[in-house]
Amino acid sequence: MTAGVQLGSMHYFGDLNPTSNYVSTEFSLTRPSLTLSLSRKFSDHFHLRADLTYGQIRGDDFKAANPDHPRHKFRYARNLHFRNNILELALIGVYDIFPSKGRFNQRRIFTPYILAGAAVFHHSPQAKTPVEQSNSWVDLQPLGTEGQQSGKPGYAKPYSLIQPAAIGGIGARWNITPFSSLSFELALRYTFFDHLDDVSGLYPDMGDLKTDLARTMATRGLETQAAVSGQTRAPNFHPTIDVTGSDGNTYSVLAGYGERRDKRGEASFNDLYLIAGFRFEVIINKSPHRPKFRRRRFGY
């Protein structure tokens, strides 16, 4: 059995991407991650590993979208952002391309491997309120920024803060002593929902949202300063319009970014996140009486 620790980073793929390509990420928004793991070897090739990971993903239209680019300016005008702290528990199978045989000190120095598994994770997307409104981080799921908390027909139900994910990835391991190794690993998490960033489908009717804070966090196109950095935003070429909500009140929004049924995200794609990092592992059940990697019925 081995124990390990991985120092790495989390990368986000979703509705707040830097280009129109879905599989892309904004590296300036990358945040660190930490993984603790236990692994058991069941054959010359196969390991089973349990991982506990904590990290953060981020996205920001202000940083990732160019207002002068014809394919980026939609996201810049939208002006949404988020951060999301993720705590993940995963069970992963690791298959070594080259077999490990013989005594500990006779293991191969270098072994590439592939991995696949499943995870369950807790998350809670947050965003900052506007600069002139305390500029503090608030949880987005309870607000129902796309109408989920309205209780009215035509909206999705609130998404869960506990979600499953499927895992696939590759890595390479270098043995640095007879009982320890260093690996580099890339592993993609495919989620089965589209709200890691609290952005998915269409803008709601502003009158259907329950609070002023929900309306503020749902449509951000009229803000003149970026909430996270405080920098001045470039002038928008979209006009401001007044819309009448279902409650009879009038709300000012950016044209195309606040009326019910205006596009807010890409509901046809689920969100992803990638964990990359260096992993250090140590064999913890080494014994001079059991020095070999041998297959037994249950274990080594």
Position 200 confidence tier, pLDDT thresholds 50, 70, 90: very high
**Separation of alpha carbons 267 and 199, rounded Å:** 8
Position 19 confidence tier, pLDDT thresholds 50, 70, 90: very low
Position 291 confidence tier, pLDDT thresholds 50, 70, 90: very low
Q: What is the pLDDT of residue 123?
A: 98
Closest CA to 145 of 190, 192, 78: 78
Residue 271 has pLDDT above 90, yes or no: yes
Q: What is the pLDDT of residue 299?
A: 43
Position 70 confidence tier, pLDDT thresholds 50, 70, 90: confident
Tokens of 132: 């002139």
DSSP string, 56-125: EEEEEHHHH--TTSTTTHHHHHH--EEEEEEEEEEEEEEEESS---SBGGGS-SEEEEEEEEEEEEE--E
Position 296 confidence tier, pLDDT thresholds 50, 70, 90: very low
Q: What is the pLDDT of residue 151?
A: 92
**Separation of alpha carbons 77 and 87, rounded Å:** 32
**Separation of alpha carbons 117 and 114, rounded Å:** 11
- Residue ranges of alpha helices (H) inside the chain are 61-64, 73-78, 212-218
pLDDT by residue (tens digit) across 95-124?
999 987 655 445 678 999 999 999 999 999
Q: What is the pLDDT of residue 23?
A: 53
pLDDT by residue (tens digit) across 142-181?
999 999 999 999 999 999 999 999 999 999 999 998 889 9
Residue 131 has pLDDT above 80, yes or no: yes
Closest CA to 197 of 290, 61, 8: 61
Q: Which residue has the tokens 């992993």?
A: 279
Domains, the chain, in order of start with CATH, read 2-283 (2.40.160.20)
- Residue 75 φ/ψ, nearest 5 degrees: -70, -35
Beta strand pairing call for 110-122 and 125-128: unpaired
Higher-confidence residue of 54 and 99: namely 54
Q: What is the pLDDT of residue 285?
A: 79
Tokens of 153: 């027909």
Position 287 confidence tier, pLDDT thresholds 50, 70, 90: low
- What is the rounded radius of gyration, in angstroms, for the C-alpha atoms of the chain? 24
CB atoms within 10 A of CB 247: 11
**Separation of alpha carbons 81 and 221, rounded Å:** 12
pLDDT by residue (tens digit) across 215-246?
999 999 999 999 999 999 988 788 999 999 99
Closest CA to 235 of 127, 76, 80, 128: 76
pTM: 0.90
Q: What is the pLDDT of residue 27?
A: 75
